[in-house]
Amino acid sequence: MGFTIAQGLMLVLLIASTMAISTANKGWQFGNWPYRGPYHPNNTQTSNKIIVGDSYHWNYGFNYTNWAIKHGPFYLNDTLVFKYDPPTPKTFPHSVYLLPNLRSFIKCDLKNAKKLGNVTQGAGEGFEFVLKRPWQPHYFACDNVMSYE
């Protein structure tokens, strides 16, 4: 019963795998662990209410893609609050649509979109949308102008 080459290779593979797994632990100071990159200001373990567009609210002519990049990532049960003015003769009516995919967003196609908030729901405290699948991109739109979360 000698030690075969196959057994030796399996032993080396087992040791290498064990070392790779153990060095992947964040407690070890290998690699670039102290630098975690930019992080979301969600230091609490609870969900946040985030006003879409900050003080600009849900409005035409605002770059929501840049806004989402600066404020992301968003977490499970975070609430996006869409605030917009109710329709008047001097304002454009706003609403909130959830588009099914990036293609619909790029083509500005509301055909398969789901209407989440109507023109009156954004007044006052605003329309709230709770993120139940934050790992998936959400594409939001108004009737005529697109935005991204």
Average pLDDT, the chain: 76
Q: What is the pLDDT of residue 56?
A: 76
Residue 11 in any domain: the answer is: no
Q: What is the pLDDT of residue 146?
A: 44
**What CATH number did the domain enclosing 116 receive?**
2.60.40.420
What is the count of structural domains for the chain?
Answer: 1
Residue 36 in any domain: the answer is: no
**CB neighbours (10 Å) of residue 62?**
16
Closest CA to 73 of 107, 36, 99: 36
Domain containing 53 equals 49-148
Residue 21 in any domain: the answer is: no
The tally of CA atoms less than 13 A away on the side-chain side of residue 58 is 38
Tokens of 80: 């996006």
**Residue for token pair 């709230």:** 128
Q: How confident is the model over 52-85, as pLDDT tens digits? A: 877 777 777 788 888 888 887 888 888 989 888 8
Is the pTM higher than 0.85? The answer reads no
Q: What is the pLDDT of residue 147?
A: 45
Tokens of 3: 């030690």
Residue 28 in any domain: the answer is: no
Q: What is the pLDDT of residue 93?
A: 78
Closest CA to 126 of 26, 56, 58: 58
